[in-house]
Amino acid sequence: MAHLFLLFLVTRGLEGALRIQSTSRSLFLIAALCFAASASSVAQTETTYLIGGRVLDESNQPVADIRVCAVPEDYDKVRKAPCGLSDAAGNFVIRTGRPALYRLFPEKSAAGYFVQFSPFFRHPSFPITEVVLNESNRTTSASVSVSLSPKNGTLIGKSVDAGTGRPIDNTWFLLCQSANPKVCWSTSAKNPAGKFHLPAAYVPFTLRAYARGYEDRFGLNGIDKNQPITLAPGTSFEVVFYLKRRPLTVNRGLDESEKQPFANLPAPAQLAPADQVELNHYPRLTKLEWQPVEGAVSYSVEADFCDGRNKKLRECINPQPHSFKKDSPPIGIVGTSYEFAFVGSQPGRWRVWAIDSKGLEGFKSPWRTFFYLK
């Protein structure tokens, strides 16, 4: 399933490279010994602020391969939260690099332990582990114990077109706690078969599903905005969501399989960036380019960011729609290029399509994947 946008915000900061300004050559030549002492001091500072601990499950047993992230109290400003991975004995070490008050959040979403950084997923009876690092307490050794809350429940299903029965390849979901409607979580499920896996809160929650060109769907019955949904920890529930088209899109080809040659414009030929290219520049200004399509009056582009925690992977895992809030809208593009600031040091992908004079979408180009290294 798609990973959450909030999880992505934490992960993105954790994996950003630490950038340290180098001392100028003149200072090095004039005072080499002072520079060496200073460098040694910086290195010591960066390596001696450590959080060491152990991850335990509900049975007080150690758990391996749990990602533990240390979120500083000033995270909203620094947007960096270092992480560590537990070993076979449940032990982990996090190199924080600086003094601060840290809150520890364990996560292994693939195994059902969803990160509780988001209040929506926070267990009501499990306290958050806090650690304070300062000059007199640079390291916790291995004294910190991080307890895993029970596994989240999971809502498993697929979204389909109520009229055609075809899967809907991109559905948005908004989940809010029933007792606290402002405590919400949203995500997108991008899957050609329309499948989704939604981790559930530990408390009753409401659900809204929506997709471009379709009417909103609420709850499990489709119509009740306030229907509370409850899933016991570690359990799953399967459901099929039938989404109805809006009146204006009933006779339009929303799915690629519904489009017809000559009736819909062909997909633009993509020029740059090349597929599977590695990009190593910062800021991450990304210019998309394609060839013109005869009959097009404008173009639209779609870009996703992908899971960037495993730097060795060269594929797009759990794609989520990129936000273009700081850039011009990716629709109604006049011309054959579009530039935007990519979100992080991680994989991304893009595609483009043409719009004709009647406002009909043409065929979409294939996805092209790129990888930002910094």
- Give the model's pLDDT for residue 15: 36
Tokens 């483009």 correspond to what residue?
352
Tens-digit pLDDT profile for residues 309-342: 878 888 898 899 999 988 899 999 999 999 999 9
Given a cut of 70, whether residue 308 has pLDDT beyond it is yes
- What type of residue sits at position 306? C
SS3 state of residue 39: helix
**At a CB cut-off of 8 Å and minimum separation 6, what does 232 contact?**
153
Given a cut of 70, whether residue 359 has pLDDT beyond it is yes
**At a CB cut-off of 8 Å and minimum separation 6, what does 1 contact?**
187, 189, 195, 196, 197, 198, 199, 318
Given a cut of 60, whether residue 3 has pLDDT beyond it is no
Given a cut of 60, whether residue 27 has pLDDT beyond it is no
Higher pLDDT, 44 or 169: 169
Given a cut of 50, whether residue 343 has pLDDT beyond it is yes
**Bridging pattern class, strands 83-85 and 154-161:** unpaired
- Give the model's pLDDT for residue 43: 41
Tens-digit pLDDT profile for residues 94-105: 999 899 999 999
CA distance 269 to 291: 5
Tokens 């997108």 correspond to what residue?
188
Rounded to two decimals, the pTM is: 0.76
**At a CB cut-off of 8 Å and minimum separation 6, what does 141 contact?**
52
Other CB atoms closer than 10 Å to residue 193's CB: what's the count? 11
Per-residue HEC secondary structure of 201-217 comes to CCCCEEEEEECCCECCE
Tens-digit pLDDT profile for residues 31-87: 322 323 333 333 444 458 999 999 999 889 999 999 999 999 999 888 889 999 999
For a pLDDT cut of 90, what percent of the chain falls above it? 69
Asked if residues 341 and 285 have their Cβ atoms less than 8 Å apart, the reply is: yes
- Give the model's pLDDT for residue 13: 39
Given a cut of 70, whether residue 18 has pLDDT beyond it is no
- Give the model's pLDDT for residue 9: 39
Q: Which domains does the chain have, with CATH numbers?
A: 5-147 (2.60.40.10), 154-249 (2.60.40.1120), 259-372 (2.60.40.10)
Task: Locate the DSSP E strands across 38-164.
Answer: 50-56, 67-72, 83-85, 91-95, 100-107, 129-133, 144-147, 154-161
- Give the model's pLDDT for residue 311: 80
Tens-digit pLDDT profile for residues 213-265: 999 999 999 999 999 999 999 999 999 999 999 998 887 778 888 899 989 99
| Burial class of residue 79 (count of CB atoms within 10 Å of its CB; 0-12, 13-18, 19+) | middle
